[in-house]
Every structure is written in C-alpha cells, then in structure tokens.
Amino acid sequence: MTFGRLSRLLARNKISWTPATAGRLLFLLQGSFWSSIFAAAEDLRFGRRLETMHFGENPVFIIGHWRTGTTLLFKLMSLDEQFTAPTMFQAAEPDSMLTSREYYKPVMKIFMKGTRPMDNVKVGMDEPQEDEYALFRLTGRSPLERLVFPVNGSYFLEEWAAQKTTSKDQENDMVQLKKFFTRIQYLRNGTMLSKNPFHSFRIRSLRQAFPGARFIQIHRHPFSVVPSTMNLWDILLKENTLNNTIHKHSVQEICRGMDLLREKITEGTAELPPGSYAEIRFEEMEKDAVNSIRGLYSALGLKFPENMKGKIEKYMAENRNFQKNRFMLSEEEKTVIRSELNDYMRKYKYS
C-alpha cells in the first residue's frame, strides 16, 4: 500500500504497541516507501496508455463463502488460456506491477515458498490470487481492515455488512478494480477471471461496472466450511493484527455469516439475465472435476477447450495426495449448524 493510503489507514485505527506489531509496522512502512516510488514511476511511464486502453467488460467472478473450494475452482479454470487471472505478485503490487516486478522478484522468491498458513495450498508470486488484497491496497477500504484492526470483539464480517457504504465509495471500488484488471490485460489479454468471496456482497456494483459479467457460486457442506472458516480467521488475525482486540470466532457467528452471504448472493443474482450465473457443488467437483466444470461452461455460454480435459485431469492427479485440513465437530456443534443454517442446507440439499 502506498504511503498516503497506509498513513490514513493507520490514523483511523487503534494500534497496540508490542514487539510483534512494531515489527509489522516497520515492514509496512518500508514497503509503502517503495510502493509509492514504483506507483509514481508507473503512472509516468504507462498512465496515458492505460487510460486509453479498452477493457473487455465480460469478466467471470467466482463467488461463495470462504473454504467452499473457491481456490480449487479458481486454479482449475485458470488452466484455460482464454482466461487471465490475477497473480500473487499483481495483487501485492496492483499499481506498479508493470514496473516493479524485476525489483521485487528476488525478495518475493525468498519469502513466498511452501504453502499458505491456513492450509496446504501452494503459494508463489505467479500463482492465481484473489483480488480483494489488490482492492484493499488501491482503495484503503476493505473488510480485511477489521482483520488487521479488530474492534469491539465482534465478527468483522457482520460489522462490515451492517455499515452504510456510500455510492461514491462503491463507485471508487469499481473504478480501481477496473484499473487493476486493465493493467493485468496490458500484460496478457484474455477474459478476466476473478475469485473473491467478498464480491458476493458486491454483485450489483460489479454488474453495473461490468455489464457482461458472469458469476459462479460454489457451495460446500457446512460441516466442512464452518470449522475451516473459524481456523482461517483465527490464523489471519494471529499473523496480521496490529492491535490486541483478538476475537475468537464462534460456530454461531460463522453460521450467521454464511447465511448472510447466502442472502446477499440470492439478492444479487435475482436480476441477472440467463447465462450470467451458475452454481457448482464442491463435493461433485472434487469427484468429477472435468464434467463439473464442463457443465459450468455450458451454463455460462463459454467454450470448453479440447485440451482442458487433459489439463484438469493432470492437475487433479498431481494433487491427489493433497492433505486437506481435518476438523472434528461435536454433536452439539452439528446441531447448532443445522439449526442456524437450516435455509442454507435446504437450498443446497445438504443433510
């Protein structure tokens, strides 16, 4: 994040001064120094060209709750050469990706090895990455702010959903997202493929900004999603927070968040024209990825390339021994989930 945006972010939030937070702040500040320099240089070098570049307004957005398989679907569809997907590096340096790559590459290669802290998914600077991180860096606004600066001991997702977002903020989010996509397409043309669970709350804004947009929702059994989401937020808080207002998430909170997201998706997709929205079940995709994704393409009017079958089969074979996180739920927790997510489980036919 550039220095100006970072300064405004820090100014409006509480910081708890500990050795850990001091180290994180120093890292952020030095990073903002370089980001500001590279962003200014890129604007001088590419600004006019990017302003006159036509962006293809038909992106495909993968939405749905966290831990439902959005990453797997994203990686499989990214194998299709008709799509262009954001990478880890591009999300990390969204306003200087055209200028700064050669400078950051040696550093990022050192730090980006292995897997994500919340699971065993491979990380790397050229691996597909969701664009919420880029949007946060470009606007200084995102639900992610409350994972870095938790407040009130409340569930950040419910707090963010309850906030009144101005039309000006929504418009700016879309302007910045379009600029981000344009930079990516400057490097490699193709239909933009975006994976971002937070976009589940922005379907109407996305449709207005990208009239030809298509949406894919993936869903999964709550018995897998709820405990995995609790683990995700706990790890992200532990590794990124800049204050001590740590909030331990409960089963009930995650269930309310899942139901809230289901409502937002139902509302947002109700007015979409035919061929603009499709759903996929994680359990079926895991069992038969080729035919599940072929069905998605058909529902969205996309051409399924001849070589995709072999690419998908190869990826799934190479990751056959992937170790998913295993979480044990008590019978009491299962009862809570069934009660809280009755509508969700009925809609998606889970028992």
**Poorest-confidence range of 183-197, 199-213, 252-266, 312-326?**
312-326
Residue that has been written with the tokens 């061929």 in this structure = 275
Q: What is the mean pLDDT of the chain?
A: 91
- Which distant-in-sequence residues (6+ apart) come within 8 Å of 238 by Cβ? 246
**DSSP H/E element including 219:** strand 214-219
Domain that holds residue 208: 54-347
The pLDDT of 268-275, averaged and rounded, is 94
Band the pLDDT of 230: cuts 50, 70, 90. very high
**Poorest-confidence range of 32-46, 226-240, 271-285?**
226-240
Strand-pair category, 191-195 with 214-219 = unpaired
Band the pLDDT of 154: cuts 50, 70, 90. confident
The pLDDT of 233-255, averaged and rounded, is 88
CA distance 271 to 278: 13
Structural domains of the chain, count: 1
Is 8 within a domain?
no
The pLDDT of 210-239, averaged and rounded, is 94
Q: What is the pLDDT of residue 239?
A: 87
Q: What is the pLDDT of residue 130?
A: 94
Is pLDDT at 2 greater than 70 in this prediction? yes
Q: What is the pLDDT of residue 119?
A: 61
Residue that has been written with the tokens 């998430």 in this structure = 249
* pLDDT over 70, % of the chain: 95
Is 32 within a domain?
no
Is 15 within a domain?
no
Q: What is the pLDDT of residue 158?
A: 86
Is pLDDT at 35 greater than 60 in this prediction? yes
* 17 or 326, which is more confident: 17
Domain CATH number, residue 217: 3.40.50.300
Q: What is the pLDDT of residue 310?
A: 97
Q: What is the pLDDT of residue 322?
A: 62
The pLDDT of 315-329, averaged and rounded, is 79
The tens digit of pLDDT for each residue in 108-141 reads 877 766 666 656 666 778 889 999 999 999 999 9
Q: Count how many residues are written for the chain.
A: 351
Q: What is the pLDDT of residue 109?
A: 76
* 322 or 24, which is more confident: 24
Phi and psi at 323, nearest 5°, equal -90, 105
CA distance 213 to 131: 16
Q: What is the pLDDT of residue 325?
A: 65
Is 313 within a domain?
yes
- Number of neighbouring beta carbons within 10 Å of residue 17: 11
Is 24 within a domain?
no
Is 75 within a domain?
yes
Is 29 within a domain?
no
The tens digit of pLDDT for each residue in 155-178 reads 888 888 887 777 888 999 999 999
Band the pLDDT of 61: cuts 50, 70, 90. very high
The pLDDT of 34-56, averaged and rounded, is 91
Is 285 within a domain?
yes
**DSSP H/E element including 214:** strand 214-219
Band the pLDDT of 290: cuts 50, 70, 90. very high
Band the pLDDT of 209: cuts 50, 70, 90. very high
Question: ∠117-174-81 over CA atoms, to 5°?
Answer: 65
The pLDDT of 227-255, averaged and rounded, is 89
